Structures are given as structure tokens and as C-alpha cells.
Amino acid sequence: MKTIEIKNLEAFSGLVLIPVFETNPQNVVPIEFHGVSIPSKVFYGKKDTHYLVEKYDCLHLFIGLGKKIDYQSLKTIFRRIAANEKERFGKNVALYIPEIFTLQQVEAVISGLSLGAYHLGHFKEKQVHPLLEKEFSLSILSKNDHTETITRAVKIGRAQKEVMQLVDLPSNVVTPSYLSQWAQDMGAAHGFSTRVLDAAACKIEGLDAFLSVGKGSAKEPQFIMMDYQPTGDKLRHIGLVGKGITFDTGGLNIKTAGMVHMKSDMAGAAAVLGAMVLIADLKLPVRVTAIVPCCENAVDKDAFYPSDVINSYQGATIEVIDTDAEGRLILADGLSYLIKNFKPEIVVDLATLTGSCVATFGYECAGLFTNNPELQQKLQYSGDAIGERMWPLPLWDAYASELDSDIADVKNYHGKPYAGAITAAKFLEYFTDKHTAWAHLDIAGVAFIDDEFAKSKHASAYGTYLLTHFIENL
């Protein structure tokens, strides 16, 4: 989405977007803009309302924001406008930015408009949203120069749309090989290196827990490693890991409900892939290394069994209690490999890991697990700032015994109807080599959601901007 600055609306004809903070329905002073006067009894800026007036060859769309508004709500309002008022968007659209707007509010508005052009019907005949047309440019009417913020917001929206598409596309399209090629293409385009290990290379490296999960699928596992290294001295080094199960049948412990949604089990991987693109696109002065282990958890004669004992990259043996607790197995190898070979000072992993986390938090926030108070605080700060919230759950040693195995070093699931998200996190902690700044985000309830923008569950792009914002504000 291109933007241009304009000084006034004298020569403009088209749609004009005018955000309005709430006044009062009894206010005797009307809302006025560009010669349009609206009595407060008709429209006074109440949140989630809008009012359309035609005058001077322009459609004036007044958009109510309420008395005060947070980042995510503002973003959603403008996404809604772009999505629902698409027919009113032509080649000429102007956005008025009030002087009172903060840079964060400008960012939310622009990225919201960008997301409003995303459409779930990837395999349906559809008209391209005007915002995506090559000749389209958004005219910005403001007394302040917001060029840098707008450019940033366009990049955020673009990265989030890429992530949404990765998660929303079906698993016969988004295979492990598709994701590895996507990572290589994006790395070449945005300036980070990408290396991919195939099954044979993974076997040589000893990534046995990862390979065990992918044994039942005809699609070859791909262990993706990305490294963004900007120039500069004494750069901080952040490590990311994303769960990349491109489809999860549950394995031999086959799922009995909700399998249709399991194309989304790679949402953690997509978030990390998108974050790498956005971090490189914004040219953040931080080194970021990311690992995305990708495979399918399918069923055939080679699939791994409950009761199998498998090896891991770290060297620990794992008793498989449940083949549907597979995400933690590939993350175990991903975390071990990252920490041993790249030694980042901070490690964050994202995964659609447990239904238990959904049972705890519903669809409002992710589960956060870390023993580092400073890391917890900074992650929560970023989450609250951009509306991608999370809440901490304990990693107490009292839960460690739940994963004791008689036959192996550790088991992958305690098999009990409680503390599922916590014991999954404790399993991952086992493979972090006691890293002092590791955090795990269980995004099962927030990565694939129901909301107003589609009739069926769909991707939210949770995590992509969260990781970027967190790294940017370290």
C-alpha cells in the first residue's frame, strides 16, 4: 500500500476517512470537517459507529473511536472499515490524521487498514481489494509528518497478512517443503540467511525426537534455521523457536474432534517466520536466530507408537505416552539445537501446544511460562501495548515429577486431566539446558480464532508483531 501526503482536500474527490473521538449526544457544537456539519444528536463519535456524508464530490466517512481507545481496538476499527466498506474504496482514498493522534495510534490505523484488505477466500473467485491494486495510493492529510510511522505500519500489516495466509492455507499446500522454500525466498528478499536440514541431514545431526514425529507422513520433514545479522558491534542475540506441525492427526493417538482445524498447528512457526521478515524489514539492530522444525504428524505403517522410547538431540531418552503430544517433541530438539549451537542470550518459543491452555484462558490471551521476571515483564509489556496479551503460569519444580518415567529419562505427557499446559512447559524446560532467559508462549487459544472477519476459524497472526515489538524494546 503506497501513501502520499496532501496539504488539503481542495482538489480531492473520493473517500475521506475521518476518525472522531467521542463528544456527547447533548453537545450543542456539531462535529465539523471539510464543510460538513453533523449534529451531535445524529453522530457524536461513539465507539464502533460511523456516519457517511456526501459533499464536494467526496464521501466523508466519520469513524467513532469513543472517548479513549487502545491500540488493538483502533486497529480493529480500521480493519473493519476497510473490510466492510470495500465498495466505497476506490482509487482515491484520503485519511485524515488528527493532531492529537500519537505515533502508536497512527501505526494502528494504517496497519488496520492494511489487514482489512486480507480475504480468506484464497481458492474462490474474488475481486481484488482496492487497497491491493497496483495503482492505489492512500492520501494522508495531516499537519505532522508521519512518513516513518506509516512506512513501518505498512510493513507490519504486510508481514501479518503473510502469516495469516500461511496459517489459513490448507495443509496440502503448506507442507514442510513449502515453508522451507518460503523461508529461503523471504531470507533472500529481506536479508537473512536460511539453512534447511532435510531428513537425512537431521538424522546425521541426531534430531531424533523431531524425526520420530514426522515418520508417519509421506512429506519430508524440514528443519529450518534462519539468522539475521545486521552490522554493528556488541549486538544482543535473541533466539526464536516456532512449532511447525503442518497438520496434526494426533498420530496413533488419533484426534476424535476438531481435526479440521489442525492445519493451524504450525501457527507458532508462521509467527516466527513472519517475525524474521518483519525484523529484517525494519532493520532492527539485534541479531536474531530462529529455528522452525516442520513436519506432519500423520498415521501410516512407519508412525511412532505410544510406549516407544525415542532419543533426542540433547541426549535424553523420551518415553512416548501420547503421540498427540508431538509439538513438545519437535520443540525439544529445536530448543536444544538453538541453545547448543547458537548460544543466544534470550530464547522465546511459540507453539499451539495444549488444549489445557485454552481451557485456562479461553481465547483471550496466551499462556506465558518463564522463570525470568525481567523477561516476563518485557514480554507482557509488549503484549499489552499492541493487544497480543499473555498471562503467566508457574514453572515450579513441584510439577517436574509429573514427567518422571520408569523406562526413560523423561516422558512426553503425564496422562492426567490437570496442569496440561504447565507440564508441557516443564517438558520443554528440560531441554533448555537451564537457560536463564527462556520463555515459552502457548498460543493455542489465540492463533486460530473466531471473530467478525470470517465465518469460520481463521488466523490471527498472533506473535509476529509481538516478537518484533519485544525485541525492539529490549
How open is the CA angle 265-274-245, to the nearest 5 degrees? 20
* Amino acid identity for residue 184 in this structure: Q
* Amino acid identity for residue 365 in this structure: C
Compute CA distances 75 → 81, 114, 115, 116, 470, whole Å: 10, 10, 9, 10, 19
Could you say which of 47, 86, 195, 255 is catalytic? 255
- Coil vs helix vs strand at 297: strand
Whether 411 is a known active-site residue: answer no
Q: Where are the beta strands (DSSP E) in 343-471?
A: 346-351, 366-370, 390-392, 410-411, 438-442, 448-449, 458-459
SS (H, E, C) 269-284: HHHHHHHHHHHHHCCC
Whether 195 is a known active-site residue: answer no
How open is the CA angle 336-338-341, to the nearest 5 degrees? 100
Q: Where are the beta strands (DSSP E) in 309-437?
A: 309-310, 318-319, 346-351, 366-370, 390-392, 410-411
Q: What kind and span of H or E run contains 141?
A: strand 137-141
Could you say which of 152, 215, 263, 328 is catalytic? 328
Concatenate the DSSP letters of all residues of 211-236 into one string.
HHHHTT-SSPPEEEEEEE--S-SS--
Radius of gyration of the chain (CA): 24
Q: Cα 127 from chain centroid?
A: 26
How open is the CA angle 369-372-377, to the nearest 5 degrees? 80
145 CB neighbour count, 10 Å cutoff: 10
Residues recognised as catalytic = 255, 328
